[in-house]
Chains A and B, each alone.
Chain A
Amino acid sequence: EADIYQTPRYLVIGTGKKITLECSQTMGHDKMYWYQQDPGMELHLIHYSYGVNSTEKGDLSSESTVSRIRTEHFPLTLESARPSHTSQYLCASSESSGYTFGSGTRLTVV
């Protein structure tokens, strides 16, 4: 069963709209991450957090922002969606024994 939940699973949205991708985990992990992945391609880290009120940008430049007000919740926001944002977004949390990934949000900006 999934211990990390992402919503929505699929989203089609118009250019210029503001969107928030939700991610919640029930494992009490301090470390959480957002990755961007085009289908079948490598993962690109866009944001991470080591705990409440901690957020950092990842290796891939992104126009999105994140917040971490509660341990279990790590939402990602795009203020103005563009077609170049079309991709799959994967949320994960971790401890030393590995990452637990959500099922992903497949975003299409038209």
Chain B
Amino acid sequence: GEDVEQSLFLSVREGDSSVINCTYTDSSSTYLYWYKQEPGAGLQLLTYIFSNMDMKQDQRLTVLLNKKDKHLSLRIADTQTGDSAIYFCAELKTGGFKTIFGAGTRLFVKA
């Protein structure tokens, strides 16, 4: 199938690290993405990783890609209350014409 799968909820304490996981379907996907959506807003592209990379780091964000297992993760270091949002994983399918989004992981950060 075409599903990108994510766990629905994650709760962490402020200052801890958050790890949001995602499995995708197309081993030939060229780009994989993480988007953030705050309440009442559109989605904001946080970061993306090209399929020939294993890891990408951008300030507090670390993306890990395991192509063999088709597993993508987003680690947020020193999680803050402002990081509370829905995080969507997405893959760009082979051919570059279709992007499949996961259902989103709701991150709750407790003060």
Is A98 located at the chain interface by the 8 A CB criterion?
yes
Most buried by A among B44, B45, B97: B45
Alpha-carbon distance A97/B49, docked complex (angstroms):
9
How many residues on chain B are close to A (CB under 8 Å)? 24
Q: What 1/0 mask marks residues of chain B from 8 to 41 whose CB sits below 8 Å from any chain A CB?
A: 0000000000000000000000110101000111
A42 → B minimal CB distance (Å): 4
B-side contacts of A97, CB under 8 Å: 31, 48
> B104: which of A31, A42, A104 is its contact (CB, 8 Å)?
A42
Q: Is the CB of B96 within 8 A of A96?
A: yes
Q: A90-B42, A96-B31 are in contact. Are A43 and B88 (CB under 8 A)?
A: yes
Q: How many A-B residue pairs have CB under 8 A?
A: 51
Q: Is the CB of A103 within 8 A of B33?
A: no
Q: Is the CB of A101 within 8 A of B33?
A: no
A53 → B minimal CB distance (Å): 17
Alpha-carbon distance A103/B39, docked complex (angstroms):
11
Within 8 A of B (CB), among A47-98: 50, 90, 92, 94, 96-98
Which residues in B have some Cβ–Cβ distance to A below 8 Å?
30-31, 33, 35, 39-45, 48, 86, 88, 90, 92, 96-97, 99, 101-104, 106
Which residues in A have some Cβ–Cβ distance to B below 8 Å?
6, 31, 39-43, 50, 90, 92, 94, 96-104, 106
6 CB contacts below 8 A, A to B, read A40-B86, A98-B31, A98-B33, A99-B43, A101-B35, A101-B43
